[in-house]
Amino acid sequence: MTTDPHLEALQDRLLRRIEAYMPVRGRPAPPRPALIEAFRRYPRHLFLPRYRPADQPDGPALAPGDAAFLDHAYDDGPLCYVDDHGASLPASCSEPGFIFHLAELLDVRPGHRVLEVGCGTGWLLALLAHAAAPDGEALGVEIDPGLQALAARNLATAGVANAIAVTGDGLAAAGRKTFDRIIMTASAWQLPATVLTLLADDGIAVLPIQNKGLSQEIHVLRKDGSTLVSRLTRLCRFVPLTGRDGADADVLMPRLDADPDITRLPMTGLPDVLDFGQAEPERMMPPALAFTGWLSKLDPRFRAWRLGAGDARPSLFGDPQVHGFGLVDAAAGSAALWRAGYVTAYGDAGARDALFAHLARWTAHGSPTGYAFGLGITSAGAASPVSHPSHRERRGPLDFWWWLRPPAERF
Ligand SMILES: C[S@@+](CC[C@H](N)C(=O)[O-])C[C@H]1O[C@@H](n2cnc3c(N)ncnc32)[C@H](O)[C@@H]1O
């Protein structure tokens, strides 16, 4: 607990925001007392290295002792870690309101063994370790050795006796023991097969999953026999895992001019308007992103592309001049490309027709975002983990199964 009134006021303000955080409209989800206690016991600023507020990518980096360091540390926003040369790293201290919500969903109880992949400089790891105390423990895995060293130092300085941070790449670095709770704070394209055994029976894993294109969701999955089944989904935007389970940019979003399946086909007819009812380009992207969340799960022909140069870091929802998407059926010689509010057909018109048929179904279902989808994870080739219709997507050594939750189950 601090005796500095300015710091105390900042901490109180952030705590009020965390307690009022509302993941779903009209449904506040305040964190449990153990997490609030942990917030007071392990102050965020003591775990922060030099950082830059994520919404100020060109602003100055702030170091402990700088006038604004504490103010931003107790804003409810993500803070990008900065390297020795002042460049922002692909690593951040996540937005506290959302992180506390995820910690609450993880449901850590005393005695649990907890794994966090992507522990950064250790703040969330300390909070989770506190919720697992006195008999439980937390293991943090961090791919960046410099950040892992900071996490180890911060945990020791803060007196967190039941957590350690190790350097390693993803879930595979956690060894062979099982965990009651697993959380990842960087998004995965694929997962190692060991995720099915790493989680104890009835255990909970909170995993951000990156889809092709720009959409991501975080799933709260429960271990059910030899499968993981998602109970709840939230939209999210995490940095991608940088190791073996991260997404290859050319899988997620190849460059259009380097995709032979579309460049070899002649254009067919004139482009059709598909502007989601939003004539201004910047307003098209949120619905376009939600639609790609649907397509990525329900149609294996889905692809997203970087148009033109397009190598710049995407903005939150992407840019309709830089990011395109569509369907490709290479065997049928058919493709459809959406860019900036228009759909262009290439070769056979089947892909374009299928894209508009998806649009009609997506609209009829209330234009859902990825939040409306359930996810099951099984070993490759196994049966679907659910009895209702679901769509299989092979990702690395595992099958991901997607289904649209009925509206009453989208909580
Ligand atoms: C968004 S930061 C989250 C930091 C911290 N957990 C938090 O919530 O504030 C994601 C972290 O994941 C780490 N990371 C990325 N890929 C990883 C991998 N393959 N294995 C372990 N850590 C990874 C990054 O270096 C970064 O520190």
The 3 state secondary structure assigned to 116-180 is EECCCCCHHHHHHHHHHCCCCEEEEEECCHHHHHHHHHHHHHHCCCCEEEEECCCHHHHCCCCEE
Same domain? For 40 and 154 the reply is yes
Same domain? For 166 and 256 the reply is no
Same domain? For 129 and 276 the reply is no
Out of 134, 150, 185, a domain closes at 185
Q: Which residues of 172-184 are buried (b: 16+ CB within 10 A; e: fewer)?
A: bbbeeebbbbbbb
Say yes or no: CB of residue 141 within 6 Å of ligand 1. yes
Which residues lie closer than 8 Å to 16 by C-beta, 6 or more apart?
Answer: none
Q: How many domains does the chain have?
A: 2
Return the best residue to mutate from 45, 51, 92, 171 for the ligand 1 pocket (most ligand atoms within 8 A of CB). 92
pLDDT score, position 1:
67
Residue 370 lies in a domain: no
Output the average pLDDT for the chain: 93
pLDDT score, position 316:
59
Please list the alpha-helical segments (H only) found in 21-68.
33-41
User: If you take atom 8 of ligand 1, which residue's CA is the nearest one?
Assistant: 94
Which residues lie closer than 8 Å to 348 by C-beta, 6 or more apart?
Answer: 268, 329, 332, 333, 334
Return the best residue to mutate from 106, 121, 144 for the ligand 1 pocket (most ligand atoms within 8 A of CB). 144
pLDDT score, position 319:
82
Residue pair 204/179 in contact (Cβ under 8 Å)? The answer is no
Banded pLDDT at 90 (limits 50, 70, 90) = confident
Banded pLDDT at 126 (limits 50, 70, 90) = very high
- The pairing of beta strand 179-184 with beta strand 334-339: unpaired
Residue 154 lies in a domain: yes
376 DSSP assignment: E
- Catalytic annotation, residues: 94
Q: Is the predicted pLDDT of residue 312 greater than 80, yes or no?
A: no
Banded pLDDT at 314 (limits 50, 70, 90) = low
Residue 79 lies in a domain: yes
Residue 230 lies in a domain: no
Residue 235 lies in a domain: no
3-state secondary structure of 350: helix
Residue 319 lies in a domain: yes
User: If you take atom 27 of ligand 1, which residue's CA is the nearest one?
Assistant: 120
Residue 322 lies in a domain: yes
Q: Please give the angle made by the CA atoms of 339, 344 and 348, to the nearest 5 degrees.
A: 145
Type and span of the H or E element at 361: helix 350-364
Residue 241 lies in a domain: no
Cα of 238 vs centre of ligand 1, distance in Å, is: 9
Say yes or no: CB of residue 170 within 6 Å of ligand 1. yes
Backbone angles phi, psi at 306, to 5 degrees: -90, 125
Ligand 1 atom nearest to 147, measured from its CA? 27
Q: What is the pLDDT of residues 240-291, one digit of tens each?
A: 999 999 988 888 999 999 999 999 999 999 999 999 999 888 899 899 999 9
As a whole number of angstroms, the distance between CA 105 and CA 275 comes to 36
pLDDT score, position 147:
95
Ligand 1 atom nearest to 120, measured from its CA? 27
Mean pLDDT of 215-227: 96
The DSSP-derived string for 62-103 is B-TTSTTHHHHHTSSS-EEEE-TTSPEEEEEE--HHHHHHHH
pLDDT score, position 318:
78
As a whole number of angstroms, the distance between CA 72 and CA 77 comes to 8
Q: Is the predicted pLDDT of residue 309 greater than 70, yes or no?
A: no
pLDDT score, position 342:
96
Same domain? For 173 and 273 the reply is no
Same domain? For 181 and 291 the reply is no
Out of 137, 167, 185, a domain closes at 185
Same domain? For 53 and 148 the reply is yes
Handedness of CA 203, 28, 39, 89 (dihedral sign): positive
Q: Among candidates 269, 265, 268, 288, which has minimal Cα distance to 278?
A: 288
Cα of 119 vs centre of ligand 1, distance in Å, is: 5
Q: What is the pLDDT of residues 176-194, one digit of tens each?
A: 899 999 999 999 999 999 9
Same domain? For 13 and 136 the reply is yes
Q: Which residues of 312-341 are buried (b: 16+ CB within 10 A; e: fewer)?
A: eebeebbbbebbbbbbbbeeebbbbbbbbb
Q: Is the predicted pLDDT of residue 313 greater than 70, yes or no?
A: no
Q: Among candidates 377, 209, 356, 234, which has minimal Cα distance to 291?
A: 356
Out of 163, 185, 207, a domain closes at 185
Same domain? For 122 and 16 the reply is yes
> For the whole model, what pTM was predicted?
0.95
The DSSP-derived string for 251-317 is HHS-BGGG-HHHHTSPEEEEEEE--TT--SHHHHHHHHHHHHHHHHHH-TTEEEEE-SS--SPP-TT
Banded pLDDT at 346 (limits 50, 70, 90) = very high
Domain of residue 273: give its range.
Answer: 250-364
